[in-house]
Amino acid sequence: MKKFFRSITLLTLLSSLILPVSADSRKTIIGKTAPSFVLPNIKGQQKKLSDWKNRFIVLNFWATWCTPCKKEIPLFNEFQNSFSDDVQFIGIAIDNKKDVEKFSQLIPLNYPNLLGGLNASQLIMTYGNNAGVLPYTVFINRSGKIVTVASGEINKKFLLETLEKYL
């Protein structure tokens, strides 16, 4: 499965550089109600987006084999601790349970992470990422509307400025 997603991500990244269609699709999702989903967490419990109703959500699509994704996770851990009263970070791993469990032993995940597996490829498109680029982060306000999205690795400055703008 890892090879499949690596190939798809590489191909879609290259196609997004040639055809900037994904930028348009991201723009059309902003202001819309965040699409609902139901996915299992690492413990097998089914979670849905509405479980975090009335919270500001930072929804991050990632994979254990994605280098920029790995760099973001310590930042998300830090911000989850700092903003826990106002913000809920949620990860959707485009991976299987075994790989996520193994990964979380190396890099702890102190916020909910859901297992998207192959289903996440369709879900990520409903959130405006037609290119399938990882990481991909969606910011959802307390009313459930998407306020902005970000493709690629997020840095501390961008994350802080975005949270300050929308909180």
Could you report the per-residue pLDDT of 59-86, keeping only the tens digit for each?
A: 999 999 999 999 999 999 999 999 999 9
Greater pLDDT, 51 or 121: 51
Could you report the per-residue pLDDT of 1-60, keeping only the tens digit for each?
A: 555 444 444 434 433 333 333 455 667 899 999 999 999 999 999 999 999 999 999 999
Angle at 136 between CA 100 and CA 127, to 5 degrees: 110
C-alpha torsion 49→55→56→62, nearest 10:
-40
Domains identified in the chain and CATH numbers: 2-166 (3.40.30.10)
Could you report the per-residue pLDDT of 141-163, keeping only the tens digit for each?
A: 999 999 999 999 999 999 999 99
Query: For position 129, what pLDDT does the model report?
Result: 94
Q: With 80 as the cut, is the pLDDT of residue 90 above it?
A: yes
Query: For position 18, what pLDDT does the model report?
Result: 30
**Lateral strand order in the sheet of 87-93:** 113-115, 87-93, 56-62, 136-140, 146-151
Q: With 70 as the cut, is the pLDDT of residue 103 above it?
A: yes
Query: For position 59, what pLDDT does the model report?
Result: 98
The residue behind tokens 């297992």 is 115
Task: Report, as an integer, the average pLDDT of 107-126.
Answer: 92
* Token output for 81: 């601790």
Q: With 50 as the cut, is the pLDDT of residue 102 above it?
A: yes
The DSSP secondary structure of 74-132, one letter per residue, reads HHHHHHHHHTTTTEEEEEEESS-HHHHHHHHHHS---S-EEE-TTHHHHHHHHTT-TT-
Residues near 96 by beta carbon (within 8 Å), at least 6 away in sequence: 1, 115, 117
* Token output for 17: 């550089």
